[in-house]
Structure 1
Amino acid sequence: MPISNLTPADLRLTIVPESLGFSDTSELLNLPLPWIGQERAETATRFGLGMDQPDYNLFVLGEVGSGRTSLLTQAMQAVAVERLVPPDLCYLHNFDTPERPLALRLPAGQGRQLRQLLLKMAKSLVTEIPQQLAGQDFKTESAHIEKAYKDEEAKAYAELSSFAEARNFSIHREAGRMVFTLLGEAGQSLAEDEVLSLPKERRAAVEQAEQELRVEITLYFEKTRPLERVMNEALAALLRQVVKPLLDHGLQEIRAGLKKQIKDAAKLNAWLDDMAHDVLDNLALFQIADDDEESRQDFLERALSRYRVNLVVDNGGLSGAPVIIEDNPLFRSLFGSIEYQSESDVLVTDFTRIRAGSLLKAHGGFLMLHLRDLLADALVWEKLRRFLRSGRLQIEEPGTAFTPIAAVSLEPEAVDIEVKIILIGSRDQYYDLQEADPEFARRFRVKVDFAESFSSSDETRHASSIFVAHACRQLGLPHFSSAAVARLLEDGHRDADDQARQSAIFARAEALVMESAAICRARKNELVEAEDVDAALQARTWRHNYPDQRLRESIAEGDLLIDLRGERVGQINGLTQVDLGDYRFGFPIRITSRTFAGDAGLLNIEREVELSGPIHDKGVFILQNYLAALFAHIAPLSLSASIVFEQEYHGVEGDSASCAELYALLSSLSGLPLRQGIAVTGAVNQHGDVLPVGGINEKIEGYFRICETAGLDGSQGVLIPWRNRRHLMLESKVVDAVAKGLFHIYTVEHAKEGIELLTGIPAGTANEAGSYPQGSVLGHAQKNLQIFRRACHAPEHPKAGRKLLR
């Protein structure tokens, strides 16, 4: 098709405010916020959240700002409301092995109830058991038991005393031992030296009597100790008899208080029985003297902690399944932890110091994580992989093995967890994960792919208007008029570089809403208008465009050489784009070419000095092949040529300049000058078709600003690919200049069309023999190539001479 000069109507999409169907966004507040342009992601999300089978976790991929987190949170909350509330999770003291606390699941709310009932029971036992032990009935019965023992013990002691007296010994008790002393004839106690002074026969008799007494003392203890054991057993049985009704009543209240069906009922009943046995086995602790209040309080603390419930997950306040968003997935916060305290240079802990992490809290519901956060900690990543494989979570404190002091460790009972994990990541992270860790990736069978842009329609514009209305309400901002919303929508098309598609990065739109509202308030207006949005866009540009401004100043001051008028051979203005991450802008760059006779072919100077990327090098090779195809009838070409980006010191990447490079090369080869006021962008393929390029709006506007600074005279413009027409969303200043004929935007579909515009001479079409008409651009180039060929084969030519010598 022939070259076309675009009209102002072709240069941008203009949305008529009246077509939106409202006067301002306050009229849209009662409408629900839809998934704008994300039908694929919405369908995948609903499918994934509704699947109860294992490994149907969701991997959400897309660009930052596309609404991944907010929309998934909204979807999770909507589904969670319809689900049952999951059970509470408690940890209990293990009476058999205290280092292995027991896990107990209870219906939601009953964990708190069990904790209160046990606390009430423990306090009542501490109060009521001493009262029962102080009662008259208990005292009478215990005194009777003790009296029976003492009577038997007194009888045995009297017999022992008689036995000792018969052998001239006195005997008495001292600190639980029997002490005996030899008596003299007068009944006095003999000292050791007096015993030694006795006659030998007398000493032998004393020693014999002493041995007999020792044997009798042993027999005495053998007789009284069983009596003491019987007494203690009788007293213990009496204590149990007194306390057991209290325990039974307390346990009955606990079991009656937990009315709902409990999945772990057998486990809870077994633990309550163990607790009752533990209380009965330690009744002596309740017999602390009344005046030892400190000891009594110490026991109270120990009793409360021993029979306490550690309610690590309390779902009593929920009305549906939990929705947890973990923004800081450290090991402790994600998997739970065990707290320690130092006592006598030893780290100690117990079951009451177990803490739940996000995974435990999300049981029965949803947990959202960001992949980048997980990858930052290899320990977290490996633990999560193990959990996804088994579905069971073991709370541990991995750092205790490396502490400088000894630690008392716990190994809480592992629990099964049913949770739907929603993992947020980028596309690159998703596919990297598929390759690097396929086992992990297999756990996320639902791919939720958020689009970067979507086809615009009346429905999507209406939905976007609802988004603006909700943003104004949530942020407390003044509402937007329909004209302001239309301007926001146009900026969405500009962000997508497409008249038919709108950007799905709504974080940018939300930021523009806030900035526009701030300007509106500064003007003391009640409604945000289109001029407020334009002012916000201009202010945003002003905050970011310093590098752009400095480049334009360098061109205006003559430091960067750009010709905007006249004609030059082998020289053209290409268009390039600089993307700084937070700001993109375009500017022209001079491309020059030199050609002469030789056989070196095309030299890409950027490539030779390693200032070009692979895509740019690919474009030059394609250009070279297209050039060779144009003149295949005189191949091999006797040509040496060079192409260079003048004053470019930072590197070149991309193939969008290959069309401009081709024109510079053809100009040098044909000797025909090119119009310097027309800047060129576009990629070329091996058939000469001009392919679309990115950043087309920034490139055009960047060149326009350079021309505007130098003064528009109607000769300047840009030459762009015909296939880039739908990507045009130019600022109003450029559109106005085109309308006045001061600036032109041309489109071409084939490279030959562009060379005709730049030289004013037909490109030329090859005849059956492959030759081009004289006077055409390609005809001039063909003529010069034939001259180069003859020059290379002339005898005086150094290389031709060498060939002739062969």
Structure 2
Amino acid sequence: MTEQTRLPVGALYQHCDLDGLDFETTADLAEQSAILGQDRALDALRFGVGIQQSGFNLYVLGPPGLGKLTVVRQYLEDKAAEGPAPDDWCYVNNFDDANRPRVLRLPNGMGAQLRQDMQQFVEDLLTAVPAAFESDEYQARIKEIEQEFHERQEQAFSQLKDRAEKEQIALLHTPGGFAFAPMRDGEVISPDDYQKLRESEQQRIEQLVAELQEQLRAILRQVPQWRKETRARVKQLNRDTAMVVVSHEVDELRERYKQQEDVLSCLDAVEKDVVEHVDDFRHEEEGENPLLSALGTARQPSYRRYQVNVLVGHTDSGQAPIIYEDNPTHSNLVGRVEHQAQMGALLTDFTMIKPGALHRANGGYLILDARKVLVQPYAWEALKRALQSREIRIQSLGEMLSLISTVSLEPEPIALDVKVVLMGERLLYYLLCEYDPEFAELFKVAADFDDRMRRDAQSTQLYARLIGTLVRKADLKPFDRGAVARVIERSARMVGDARKLSAHMGQITDLLHEANHWAAQNGHDLVRRDDVQRAIDEQIHRSDRIRERVHEEIHRGTVLIDVSGARVGQVNGLSVMQLGTFMFGQPSRISATVRMGEGDVVDIEREVELGGPIHSKAVMILSSYLGARYAMSKPLSLRASLVFEQSYGMIEGDSASVAELCALLSAAGEVPVKQSLAVTGSINQHGDVQAIGGVNEKIEGFFDVCKARGLSGEQGVIIPESNVEHLMLREDVVEAVDRGEFHVFAVKT
């Protein structure tokens, strides 16, 4: 290899300059309210919130812990105060079809007022209606109608009786009704006396009785009609009396809501229904029948049909709502219709309609976790349907899937005007773009939050202010300059780049809390650098059981790794293992063998299906490099094999391709390779060494093995030169390099 360079100690770790931190503790720092390192995401957020066209909802990309929800909430709260006050939404009874409740859209705060007015309206009627029907005027009219009926009836019977008496016929009341009998001298003659009458006289009497009976039947046929007419007059009187009372109460409400056409229409229907059911208000003092109450037919529930169900009411500041739904089930999004069990049946009405997050966010902003929406059955489809139709239609899953058959409602849909902000990881966003064609039409704005930011003098100062703000918000002990500097350095190590800082505020906040804990344990008034370092060490210790086990197997010789001497066809490669949030490096022996052949390089890992596609690609690039470098004039007459020794799982990635090339060249030329060096790096077809990931963990992994075996001063790691700017090595590694006990080399080709 050419252009090999030994890196100086200063290149292994970029310290935070304490002179650049112009404060003693975080208590001296100003509040950092501006968002750091997210300019692109904030621009997208401003655009997505500002544009009002349909479909321009937002998807906020980024891993958890970046503070996406905090940033979005903070921006929306500032924006919400500028927008118009949201409307109230209410459901009222549909007197034409009770299963289809009507919706009322009212100005901000008017829903609660209407509900209160309608409650007062019912209470007033419960007093005014009985009073009207107990008034002297009403009672006099009732008596007059009833008197007219009795007089009409008595007149008809009086005329019949007078005719009968004139003809010497008596009209008798019997248990079976009415009967006629002949009279003589004002007395009813007996049957024996009747038989003694002449036949002509009997015939005359029978003829008269028949005529009188016909007249009686005519009267009896008219009496029900007269009763019907009397009841109709009473009913009309009741209607007129009720109308006087109800119209007076309703007119007051009409005047109050004269600007609301929908409310006026509702009041017309209420007025008509109250007049038709005025008897419900006349018997309020009577006790309810328990059986009727159990059956749901008692009078008191009938007043519910005049109530107002304020689905969404706004009585606070009047700014646009910002709703975060943590449990976005189907019903929690679009609302639901509840039921009440009565005598084994499930009953419902418009007062049991409950709002969903879309209702509460209507006129404002709805924030949802994309993964939580997608894992809930039918929630994603319900959200898309609402956004596409721009209306909220309440429908239960049981009805949609025909799982239940019971009394339910079909509430009138509500017009939807909401800006939805979905938050989720990048992979989820790309999958939705790929597999759901409707997603791109509904979420046209992507706000991509970066997980890292630039590290320079200015950003370091701002980051220190951010740390101070987090410390104050969490009510922690103040951090001194050294502690802040160590947190900043740890932030760079989190992203594996000395020139970047982590934007993962969740991890930084956790570190601050843990450092505060250890400062308290040590009795410190301020959090110091050693408290932060203790927190970092404890974090690693809690997670590194597997790493210790791997290094123990190497130290005991179970896993074969040489850190001294030289071997042909054998190189120490480096790999990274990630378990949860913990990453660590470990050396792996890479061996190569050569024999006569036609220039093929056999990847044993691939042959047994333990090599991933990227690793297989890297081996093919090696073959191409060897052919271009050594077989330009004649073919290679060898066949080589490559393998990761003692590897029992999948091998993936191209970071071992430089080490594999070294092993191949060593085997082909029978040139021993120093085992005191480990190699990592990717290579292209022209022999250029390319950057790899996890460079810090790889160096530290080999250092730990060498330290356990004993540092000789010859051991070290060869890395790509393009990875130098990523180095943020542990303090013990840097100190060993400074003492000349360990080395880090950088190569380009």
TM normalised by structure 2 equals 0.92
Residue 267 (structure 2) aligned to one of 266, 269, 272 = 272
Q: What code does the residue aligned with 2:142 have?
A: S
Deviation at 1:661, TM superposition (A): 0.6
* In structure 2, distance between residues paired with 1:669 and 1:401: 71
Matched, 1:83 2:79: no
After superposition, give the CA deviation of every residue in 1:319-365 in whole Å (9 maximum; x if it has no partner). 31000001111111110000112334332111111111010111110
Matched, 1:287 2:312: no
Matched, 1:24 2:22: no
Matched, 1:327 2:322: no
Q: Is the 8 A contact 1:33 1:463 kept in 2?
A: no
After superposition, give the CA deviation of every residue in 1:741-800 in whole Å (9 maximum; x if it has no partner). 0000000000xxxxxxxxxxxxxxxxxxxxxxxxxxxxxxxxxxxxxxxxxxxxxxxxxx
After superposition, give the CA deviation of every residue in 1:619-643 in whole Å (9 maximum; x if it has no partner). 0110111111121245211102111
After superposition, give the CA deviation of every residue in 1:171-196 in whole Å (9 maximum; x if it has no partner). 46x9xxx8345769996999xxxxxx
After superposing the two structures, state which structure 1 stretch, 353-362 or 243-252, moved more: 243-252
For structure 2, the 5+ residue unaligned runs are: 192-198
Deviation at 1:481, TM superposition (A): 1.8
Q: Is the 8 A contact 1:164 1:170 kept in 2?
A: no
After superposition, give the CA deviation of every residue in 1:474-509 in whole Å (9 maximum; x if it has no partner). 322222222212111111111111111112222111
Alignment-derived partner of residue 753 in structure 1 = none
Alignment-derived partner of residue 692 in structure 2 = 693
Q: What code does the residue aligned with 1:116 have?
A: Q
Q: Compared with structure 1, are the counterparts of its residues 148 and 28 closer, same or farther at alpha carbon in structure 2 (3 Å cutoff)?
A: farther
Alignment-derived partner of residue 715 in structure 1 = 714
Alignment-derived partner of residue 394 in structure 1 = 393
After superposition, give the CA deviation of every residue in 1:82-140 in whole Å (9 maximum; x if it has no partner). 22220111100111111111100111211111111111110111122112211222212
After superposition, give the CA deviation of every residue in 1:513-563 in whole Å (9 maximum; x if it has no partner). 111111112222222111111101100000000000000000111101111
SS at match of 1:442: helix
After superposition, give the CA deviation of every residue in 1:591-618 in whole Å (9 maximum; x if it has no partner). 1111122336211111111111010000
Q: Compared with structure 1, are the counterparts of its residues 411 and 627 closer, same or farther at alpha carbon in structure 2 (3 Å cutoff)?
A: same
Alignment-derived partner of residue 625 in structure 1 = 624
Q: Is the 8 A contact 2:716 2:744 kept in 1?
A: yes
Deviation at 1:427, TM superposition (A): 1.6
Q: Compared with structure 1, are the counterparts of its residues 33 and 158 closer, same or farther at alpha carbon in structure 2 (3 Å cutoff)?
A: same
* In structure 1, distance between residues paired with 2:207 and 2:396: 68
SS at match of 2:560: coil
Q: Compared with structure 1, are the counterparts of its residues 134 and 642 closer, same or farther at alpha carbon in structure 2 (3 Å cutoff)?
A: same
SS at match of 2:621: helix
Q: Compared with structure 1, are the counterparts of its residues 508 and 151 closer, same or farther at alpha carbon in structure 2 (3 Å cutoff)?
A: same
Q: Is the 8 A contact 1:628 1:635 kept in 2?
A: no
Alignment-derived partner of residue 7 in structure 2 = 6
Q: Is the 8 A contact 2:288 2:298 kept in 1?
A: no
Alignment-derived partner of residue 147 in structure 2 = 147
Q: Compared with structure 1, are the counterparts of its residues 229 and 718 closer, same or farther at alpha carbon in structure 2 (3 Å cutoff)?
A: same
Q: Compared with structure 1, are the counterparts of its residues 671 and 405 closer, same or farther at alpha carbon in structure 2 (3 Å cutoff)?
A: closer
Alignment-derived partner of residue 105 in structure 1 = 105
Q: Is the 8 A contact 2:455 2:501 kept in 1?
A: yes
Alignment-derived partner of residue 65 in structure 1 = 65
Q: Compared with structure 1, are the counterparts of its residues 135 and 15 closer, same or farther at alpha carbon in structure 2 (3 Å cutoff)?
A: same
After superposition, give the CA deviation of every residue in 1:427-465 in whole Å (9 maximum; x if it has no partner). 222222222222232111211011122222334323322
Q: Is the 8 A contact 2:32 2:462 kept in 1?
A: no
Count of residue pairs the alignment pairs up: 732
* In structure 2, distance between residues paired with 1:429 and 1:59: 10
SS at match of 1:576: strand
Q: What code does the residue aligned with 1:133 have?
A: F
SS at match of 2:150: helix
Q: Is the 8 A contact 2:288 2:299 kept in 1?
A: no
* In structure 1, distance between residues paired with 2:231 and 2:238: 10
Alignment-derived partner of residue 223 in structure 1 = 222
Q: Is the 8 A contact 1:18 1:482 kept in 2?
A: no
After superposition, give the CA deviation of every residue in 1:657-705 in whole Å (9 maximum; x if it has no partner). 0100110111111111111000000011100001100000000001111
Alignment-derived partner of residue 117 in structure 1 = 117
Correspondence 1:45-56 to 2 at 5 A: 45-56=45-56
* In structure 2, distance between residues paired with 1:401 and 1:181: 69
After superposing the two structures, state which structure 1 stretch, 54-63 or 158-167, moved more: 158-167
Q: Compared with structure 1, are the counterparts of its residues 577 and 213 closer, same or farther at alpha carbon in structure 2 (3 Å cutoff)?
A: farther
Q: Is the 8 A contact 1:684 1:690 kept in 2?
A: yes
Q: Compared with structure 1, are the counterparts of its residues 125 and 583 closer, same or farther at alpha carbon in structure 2 (3 Å cutoff)?
A: same
Q: Is the 8 A contact 1:573 1:680 kept in 2?
A: yes
Q: Is the 8 A contact 1:346 1:406 kept in 2?
A: no
Q: Is the 8 A contact 2:254 2:267 kept in 1?
A: no
* In structure 1, distance between residues paired with 2:80 and 2:341: 42
SS at match of 2:525: coil
Q: Compared with structure 1, are the counterparts of its residues 538 and 134 closer, same or farther at alpha carbon in structure 2 (3 Å cutoff)?
A: same
Q: Is the 8 A contact 1:339 1:354 kept in 2?
A: yes
Alignment-derived partner of residue 755 in structure 1 = none
Q: What code does the residue aligned with 1:351 have?
A: F
Q: Compared with structure 1, are the counterparts of its residues 129 and 711 closer, same or farther at alpha carbon in structure 2 (3 Å cutoff)?
A: same
Matched, 1:136 2:136: yes
Q: Compared with structure 1, are the counterparts of its residues 650 and 292 closer, same or farther at alpha carbon in structure 2 (3 Å cutoff)?
A: closer
SS at match of 2:745: strand
Q: What code does the residue aligned with 2:278 have?
A: L
Q: What code does the residue aligned with 2:427 have?
A: D
Q: Is the 8 A contact 1:90 1:309 kept in 2?
A: yes
Alignment-derived partner of residue 96 in structure 1 = 96
Deviation at 1:406, TM superposition (A): 4.4
Alignment-derived partner of residue 527 in structure 1 = 526
Q: Superposition RMSD on alpha carbons, in Å?
A: 2.9
After superposition, give the CA deviation of every residue in 1:355-398 in whole Å (9 maximum; x if it has no partner). 11010111110001122122223422222222111101111223
Deviation at 1:218, TM superposition (A): 5.2
Alignment-derived partner of residue 725 in structure 1 = 724
Q: Is the 8 A contact 2:593 2:641 kept in 1?
A: yes
After superposition, give the CA deviation of every residue in 1:711-751 in whole Å (9 maximum; x if it has no partner). 1110100000011001111111111111000000000000x
Identity of aligned residues (%): 36
After superposition, give the CA deviation of every residue in 1:383-419 in whole Å (9 maximum; x if it has no partner). 2222111101111223146678741121111111100
* In structure 2, distance between residues paired with 1:60 and 1:249: 56
Q: Is the 8 A contact 2:477 2:527 kept in 1?
A: yes
Q: Is the 8 A contact 2:161 2:170 kept in 1?
A: no
Alignment-derived partner of residue 36 in structure 2 = 36
Q: Is the 8 A contact 2:329 2:377 kept in 1?
A: no
After superposition, give the CA deviation of every residue in 1:20-79 in whole Å (9 maximum; x if it has no partner). 3322222335x3422110000011101111122221111111111122222111111111
After superposing the two structures, state which structure 1 stretch, 497-506 or 461-470, moved more: 461-470
After superposing the two structures, state which structure 1 stretch, 602-611 or 582-591, moved more: 602-611
Deviation at 1:159, TM superposition (A): 4.3
* In structure 2, distance between residues paired with 1:368 and 1:120: 38
* In structure 1, distance between residues paired with 2:190 and 2:601: 131
Alignment-derived partner of residue 649 in structure 2 = 650
Q: Is the 8 A contact 2:656 2:680 kept in 1?
A: yes
* In structure 2, distance between residues paired with 1:556 and 1:189: 140
Correspondence 1:465-484 to 2 at 5 A: 465-484=464-483
* In structure 2, distance between residues paired with 1:189 and 1:389: 95
Q: Compared with structure 1, are the counterparts of its residues 140 and 81 closer, same or farther at alpha carbon in structure 2 (3 Å cutoff)?
A: same
* In structure 2, distance between residues paired with 1:667 and 1:205: 151
Q: Compared with structure 1, are the counterparts of its residues 101 and 593 closer, same or farther at alpha carbon in structure 2 (3 Å cutoff)?
A: same
SS at match of 2:442: coil
Alignment-derived partner of residue 179 in structure 1 = 177
Q: Is the 8 A contact 2:561 2:587 kept in 1?
A: yes
Q: Compared with structure 1, are the counterparts of its residues 348 and 627 closer, same or farther at alpha carbon in structure 2 (3 Å cutoff)?
A: same
SS at match of 1:89: strand
SS at match of 1:575: strand
Q: What code does the residue aligned with 1:513 have?
A: L
Q: What code does the residue aligned with 2:374 have?
A: L
* In structure 2, distance between residues paired with 1:252 and 1:24: 69
* In structure 1, distance between residues paired with 2:612 and 2:215: 108
